[in-house]
């Protein structure tokens, strides 16, 4: 309990994908997505910025996280239509993402600011149990991404 009599952490299970249990994990320092192996052996805590980075994994792969091939963007768009409002939002001062389980086939992660989304399957979630935060750093760094220029309203 904290000084105000509240629990120092709150956890809300979201479900399971393959052999990985997924939950929303709230602490006084912020919200995280908690992944736990079904056997209880490994766990990972991902903050909203790392989750936002995962939406870029199909375009900016990292060796520590093998990603299934295929048109992930189309799959994510279809998944978002089916879950939309039933998603769980995780936010900190740097990122806002929505996460939702898509049946037992995967975890949908959607960057609410950028619009990118990805569905991570059971193998990808299991791989996340073994990565270090520094392995995800290339996904968080957006300095090499090209932004589309916005039209200048004064020039017409």
Give the C-alpha separation, 156 to 140, whole Å.
36
pLDDT digits (tens, 9 = 90+) for 49-81: 999 999 888 778 788 877 654 456 666 667 666
The pLDDT of residue 69: 46
Question: pTM of the predicted model, to two decimals?
Answer: 0.79
The pLDDT of residue 61: 78
Are 141 and 60 in contact by the 8 Å Cβ rule? The answer is no
Closest to 20 measured CA to CA, from 42, 1, 50:
42
Give the C-alpha separation, 68 to 77, whole Å.
16
Total length of the chain: 156
The pLDDT of residue 29: 84
Specify burial of residue 45 (Cβ count, 10 A radius: 0-12, 13-18, 19+): middle
Give the C-alpha separation, 124 to 4, whole Å.
39
Token pair belonging to 62: 């990292």
The pLDDT of residue 32: 94
Residue 62 DSSP symbol = B
Is residue 4 pLDDT above 50, yes or no?
A: yes
Of residues 134 and 149, which shows the higher confidence score?
134
Phi, then psi, of 101 in degrees rounded to 5: -80, 135
Is residue 84 pLDDT above 80, yes or no?
A: no
Give the C-alpha separation, 106 to 72, whole Å.
12
The pLDDT of residue 150: 56
């Amino acid at each position: 309990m904290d000084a105000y009599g509240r629990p120092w952490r709150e956890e809300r299970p979201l479900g399971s994908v393959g052999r990985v249990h997924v939950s929303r994990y709230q602490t006084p320092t912020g919200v995280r997505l908690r992944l736990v192996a079904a056997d209880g052996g490994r766990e990972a805590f991902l903050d909203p910025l790392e989750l936002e980075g995962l939406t870029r994994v199909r375009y900016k792969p990292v060796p520590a996280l093998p990603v299934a091939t295929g048109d992930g963007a189309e799959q994510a768009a279809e998944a978002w239509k089916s879950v939309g409002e039933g998603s769980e939002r995780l936010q900190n001062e740097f990122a806002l993402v929505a996460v939702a389980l898509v049946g037992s086939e995967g975890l949908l992660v959607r960057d609410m600011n950028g619009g990118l989304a990805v569905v991570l399957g059971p193998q990808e979630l299991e791989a996340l149990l073994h990565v270090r935060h520094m392995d995800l750093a290339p996904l968080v760094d957006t300095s090499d991404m090209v932004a589309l220029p916005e039209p200048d309203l004064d020039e017409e």
